[in-house]
Amino acid sequence: MGLRNKQEIIYYLGNKHNKSLKEIEQIVTYQFKFVSQVMALGNFDTIRIPYFGKFSVNKNRVKYITELANKNGR
């Protein structure tokens, strides 16, 4: 297969499954949008995507970034 980037993967899957490139792109990117939405809620939930990995937010890192932003007047 030898695919190098996301666009090649989308094109390959679209041709293989006879779907539009837009539809395949939505399928490929959905899980990342979901992770982003859950993390944006600020509940610090861990999200597990089977066969891909676990995503979490380090509360101490968020605290550090918030303090840093407050020091810089943001």
pLDDT of 6-53, one tens digit each?
899 999 999 999 999 999 999 989 988 988 888 788 777 788 888 888
In whole angstroms, give the CA distance from residue 70 to residue 64.
Answer: 10
User: From the CA atom positions of the chain, what is the Rg in Å?
Assistant: 18
What's the confidence (pLDDT) of residue 15? Answer: 95
Total domain count, the chain: 1
| 1: in domain | no
Which run of H or of E encompasses 40?
helix 21-40
Residue 25's nearest CA partner among 11, 37, 35, 38 is 11
Range of the domain at 47: 6-71
Rounded to two decimals, the pTM is 0.56
Check: CB of residue 47 under 8 Å from CB of residue 35.
yes
| 30: in domain | yes
| 58: in domain | yes
DSSP character for 5?
Answer: S
